Structure 1
Amino acid sequence: MKGPTEEEIRKVIMPLMLSGAKMLDRHCPKCGSPLFEKNGKVFCPVCEYRAKNRKEKVQEFEEILLKKLNELASNLPDDPEELEKRLSVMERIIDLIEKYRRLEGST
């Protein structure tokens, strides 16, 4: 993982410095960003920001998948072949949702 981008410096690091957080002389082993201390907590603001963004994107994607799943489930066809295809697609959507939930839990 690379160090902070210009956007991360502007959106994350600068506001922290202005809020009175203390920039430490140590760096994050994951991304190379300076570590900060605030209220006795030492943390990497860039990794926290990236994790929050990842979580939001996963939640947005999950909402899209759930909406599609509901659409597919709301009007199942009578034809057995079409029903089998639809159920197969629904199963893949459920598998994707579960996969993203596991990924979200591991970050």
Structure 2
Amino acid sequence: MITDEEIRKVIAPLLLSGAKMLDKHCPKCGSPLFEKDGRVFCPVCEYREKQKKEMVKGVEERLMEKLTQLANSLPDDIDELEKHLRVMEKIIEVLEKYKKLEGRR
């Protein structure tokens, strides 16, 4: 189902830009399909995919920042160092999972 936000942010600007709304609907989300420059597409699915990628990218960036912080502040105490390294290892595992989700591996 299409949200009001998607209508405002995606569909209305497309109509104003001269895209043609077709009498066919997306089988995935039910949105009307559009045609522009010879390309038929679902603007809502494209918008949602873009939003998802931006969210994943934001999480990855925060994890990388934390990993860098940890790498730059390794403690001298061996017990604390082990804890530090375990956390770093977990962050790396999560980053790998995100990459697999995006099909980048």
Q: How well do the aligned residues superpose, as a CA RMSD in angstroms?
A: 1.2
SS in 2 for 1:77: coil
Q: Show the counterpart of 2:89.
A: 91
Deviation at 1:22, TM superposition (A): 0.9
Which TM-score applies when normalising by structure 2? 0.93
Asked if 1:43 is matched to 2:41, the reply is: yes
**What percentage of aligned pairs have identical amino acids?**
68
Q: Show the counterpart of 1:11.
A: 9
Of structures 1 and 2, the one with the larger relative CO (CA 8 A, separation 6+) is 1
Give CA-to-partner distance per residue, 1:65-92, whole Å, 9 cap, x none.
0010011011111222211111110011
Q: Distance in 1 between matches of 2:29 and 2:98?
A: 23
Which TM-score applies when normalising by structure 1? 0.91
Aligned residues: 104
**Runs (5+) with no aligned partner, structure 2:** none
**Runs (5+) with no aligned partner, structure 1:** none
Q: Distance in 2 between matches of 1:73 and 1:18?
A: 50
Deviation at 1:21, TM superposition (A): 0.8
Equivalent position amino acid for 2:24 in 1:
R
Where does structure 1 differ by over 3 angstroms across 4 or more consecutive aligned residues? none
